[in-house]
Structure 1
Amino acid sequence: MDLIPDFIPVIGYLDDLIIVPLLIRLSIKLIPAAVLIEARKNVKNNPQKLKKSNWIFATVIVIIWLALFYVAYRHFSYLWK
């Protein structure tokens, strides 16, 4: 749920910066204490390691976004002159 659409400058993202942390905090408070304690023990006893493939996919996605920004800049740069 988004109270203020993100396409509205500044305020659109500002509500996300306030609402999302509040909802995360509320969600954690709604988890029963026994479940939360057990989950924390599981994480502590069995830490997960990131696979190298995750970093490769992330790098590819970042490169694609940078390429798209570059193409958009080259295409629309005449508007800023």
Structure 2
Amino acid sequence: MFNQIKTWAKGLKKNIYVLYLAYKDPRVPWYAKVFTICVVAYAFSPIDLIPDFIPILGYLDDIILVPLGIMLALKMIPKDVIAECEMKAQEMMSKGKPKNWIAGSIILVIWFLILIWILKMIYFR
């Protein structure tokens, strides 16, 4: 059972890289790009919708939302684009984890702005 979970997790990781590569492809429709960017950003984001420290519910978003988003995004993208991106993703994974500091910084800035907005709404009504 542990090996099945490990294989499933590696498949999710590969699919995240596939989506990361696919959203840059000009053959992907704009609505699929927008959805794909949201899924990839959420998957790579260090901040979850439901914090992991909340028992059981904290991991539900990682177990349900991310795979569901991946599945939906893959259905929106043309099959030939997915096939090409799967080969590129396999190459990327064999070389090691890619690091995109710009994307990570943008995600953190967005979450920070959301936090400021929430605090402003709470304290400055």
Say yes or no: TM over 0.5: no
TM-score (norm 2): 0.29
TM-score (norm 1): 0.41
Identify which of structures 1 and 2 has the higher relative contact order when contacts are C-alpha pairs closer than 8 Å and 6+ apart.
2
